Structure 1
């Protein structure tokens, strides 16, 4: 297949591109900068210049492809990050690509997050949707729009990534937690730290996206989750040990000044199942677990 990939130079997207190329697919990657374009060219990828602010360009790229993996999302990890605006831009992209693929039966995979389930500690499954009125429901609408494309002749699927997709080169939540621990002089968890984060290794996440493009049934939600849930206390303890710093419990009131905008994420308890994903696509996560990956030391180099 010729696959059009948005977010092709990101941490996950670049691994997906390599996975697709190694499986014999051709890839066209969206690039919004000269640097991204050069990286894609070096990887043997055809370049399409553009960004999420150009729905017409996204539609053209989708129409010229046999399949689309929409992995781009505007992440601005700062105090001023406007999540709602990023979700709105993502929705416009989904709608534009979906319209271009309508009636084609072409595969269209979008990225989402397992954290949107926010099930109060209940194990989330692929059949669950976001809870109305919650923070996760803001992005949950985008999932619904993508899933509805199955009724319009698009083989659409949603891949929900674990809150931490880990591996060498990761600059996401784990990297941020390490930086906060250095700055504050200790690694922290909220309350008893029993809240759980699912996790997945980057290689397993990339393979799942490829399998979804190749074989996912129309209208399915899939979980890129290698581990159902790791106690946040264990994550903090491992970070503290590697940094030679103490690990402490902090109260919910102390979390915002300690973690900043990450306080909400640090307190999430979102254990997530991958049972149906494994069954539907014969996906078997084989990469190292999060704590094992942290023990390798590359996060602290």
Structure 2
């Protein structure tokens, strides 16, 4: 297929673009004026997530458009979704597990988004109503990127122990970035219009992640202190989730190769 990848220089998007290229697709990257050049071998199309008209023009004529770009806020994100849908190319849109509520949830569960990303449920609704597809990754890790080295590992180094926020026992869905990239390949090959797919390889306790980063030692970062530094993001760390990807695996034949985040962090 001829595929446009939005976010192709980012953590998730660069892995997705590379995986699609390996699978034989012709991949182009959206590039904003002054933006970083994508990996060698990728074509480029001019466009900017903050300029809806440029997105509609950029996305026209592609067999698929993969939106793995960064969230920019409610107004910009919803305008971008509308602009991409207006181009008429089937859209594969990335949201995240934070659009779901706490407890045991799966691909059929109704969205109950955390306030930090409250508009993502509406973005999903618009994409699905237009026949697009949605991928909800868990916490993405691996290959030196994501929230783990960016925040959690930095806090462990700062405090001399792994840090989790609030009470112990909170669970999060996680996925290795390379497994997530292969999910996009599977969606392009076997996905169906109007479907939601979960990019989750396992469920891991946040205090266990903290202990792995802290050499076996983990301490609680009180929620009020974390809020003072992180703002609303701190509350997201207290949402306990057990997110299933069972339907995704069965329908797409997706089988993650990285099945123990804790072991990888220890290594």
TM above 0.5: yes
Displacement after TM superposition at 1:132 (Å): 7.3
- Cα deviations by residue, 1:225-280 (Å, 9 ceiling, x for unpaired): 011x21111011111117xxx42234444442465554212212121000010111
> Cα gap change, 1:260/1:180 in structure 2, threshold over 3 Å: closer, same or farther?
farther
Q: In structure 1, what is the equivalent of residue 93 of structure 2? A: 110
- Cα distance in 2 between the residues matched to 1:208 and 1:15: 11
Greater helix fraction, Structure 1 or Structure 2: 1
- Cα deviations by residue, 1:198-232 (Å, 9 ceiling, x for unpaired): 100111100111211222111111100011x2111
- Cα distance in 2 between the residues matched to 1:225 and 1:176: 21
> Cα gap change, 1:17/1:191 in structure 2, threshold over 3 Å: closer, same or farther?
closer
Q: In structure 2, what is the equivalent of residue 232 of structure 1? A: 206
Given the alignment, which residue of 73, 80, 86 partners 1:86? 73
Task: Please say if residues 67 and 107 of structure 1, whose CA atoms lie closer than 8 Å, have aligned partners that are also in contact.
Answer: yes
> Cα gap change, 1:218/1:35 in structure 2, threshold over 3 Å: closer, same or farther?
closer
Count, aligned residues: 267
Q: In structure 1, what is the equivalent of residue 158 of structure 2? A: 183
Give the alignment of 1:128-143 within 5 angstroms.
128-131=109-112, 134-143=115-124
Given the alignment, which residue of 216, 230, 247 partners 2:191? 216
Q: In structure 2, what is the equivalent of residue 160 of structure 1? A: 136
Q: In structure 1, what is the equivalent of residue 219 of structure 2? A: 248
- Cα distance in 1 between the residues matched to 2:220 and 2:7: 37
Task: Please say if residues 99 and 121 of structure 2, whose CA atoms lie closer than 8 Å, have aligned partners that are also in contact.
Answer: yes
- Cα distance in 1 between the residues matched to 2:42 and 2:115: 39
Task: Please say if residues 201 and 289 of structure 1, whose CA atoms lie closer than 8 Å, have aligned partners that are also in contact.
Answer: no
- Cα deviations by residue, 1:168-221 (Å, 9 ceiling, x for unpaired): 131424530111233344333344410101100111100111211222111111
Task: Please say if residues 140 and 146 of structure 2, whose CA atoms lie closer than 8 Å, have aligned partners that are also in contact.
Answer: no
| TM superposition score normalised by structure 1 | 0.81
> Cα gap change, 1:175/1:201 in structure 2, threshold over 3 Å: closer, same or farther?
same
Given the alignment, which residue of 237, 243, 246 partners 1:275? 246
Task: Please say if residues 200 and 289 of structure 1, whose CA atoms lie closer than 8 Å, have aligned partners that are also in contact.
Answer: no
Cα RMSD (Å) of the superposition?
2.2
| TM superposition score normalised by structure 2 | 0.91
> Cα gap change, 1:210/1:202 in structure 2, threshold over 3 Å: closer, same or farther?
same
Displacement after TM superposition at 1:29 (Å): 0.4
SS in 1 for 2:106: coil
